[in-house]
Amino acid sequence: MHSLNNKVALINGGTTGIGLTVAKNFVDTGATVIITGRRDATQAASDIGAYFRVLDVTDEQAVKDLVDAVAKEFGNIDILVNNAGIAEDVGFIDASPTDFMKRCLDVNVMGVYYALKYAPSFMNDGGSIINTGSAAGSRTTMPGNSEYAGSKAAVAYITRSVALELAPRAIRVNAICPAIIAGTGMMAADDGSDESKFLGSLTALGRMGRQDEITGIYNFLASDSASFITGQEICVDGGLTAGIGLPMLGAMEGE
């Protein structure tokens, strides 16, 4: 792993799943880490050596106040991870509740927008911003996924635009786009069930991914080793978006 010594990292949506796993990695590689979430996670943060602050990413003023407070308490931010997000199985668009689309936009898009609007003023030049996107919004999608995919597609293009805007300060802005990662709260558990076997068959590697298999790319992009990478969407999906893999072909032939 790459060293994050002497760096201050703010991870929005860092109390569970990928966000918490990334936070632990950042702590283990030397960073001072602050995780945020709507519900108290002081103990979870303490368990990994991080700090916790309450934040509703849909509240613009709260986001503005939070980045100001973090910079005053810990020093300017070096790493910002926008990981807060929601996803639900709501079915096809003609039957989906309109409120869900609004909530997707509020959390998945506006939450990222507010952080990108206010946090860079409190960041050191040469820092790194990592937005958690999704392969569903960058490379592929499926029926019944329009709200979530649409919101993550917005994140992908916001990432590109802000990367261009912050380039003069050498602040890099990238999106990591996971798919078929178990244990995130947005995907089935990798427990050998028929659902998990089906999901695994969608990838070229023939299995679901683990959370520890995605932390490395966050660590790399957060580090100085990735100083010439910006404006990119990087899929971590076991080959899902490369095309139809042998596991899926085998499943199709077995029908």
Active-site amino acid positions: 148
Contacts of residue 30, defined as CB under 8 A and 6 or more positions apart, other chains included, come to 3, 4, 5, 6, 7
* Per-residue tokens: 180: 């078929």
Buried b (16+ CB within 10 A) or exposed e, 18-51: bbbbbbbbbbebbbbbbbbbeeebeebbeebebb
DSSP code of 16?
S
- Quote the CA–CA distance of 206 and 43 in Å, as a whole number: 36
Q: How many distinct helices (H) and strands (E) make up the chain? A: 10, 7
Q: Are the beta carbons of 28 and 3 closer than 8 angstroms? A: no
Q: Are the beta carbons of 19 and 13 closer than 8 angstroms? A: yes
Q: Are the beta carbons of 122 and 169 closer than 8 angstroms? A: no
What are the helix (H) ranges across 1-59?
17-28, 42-48
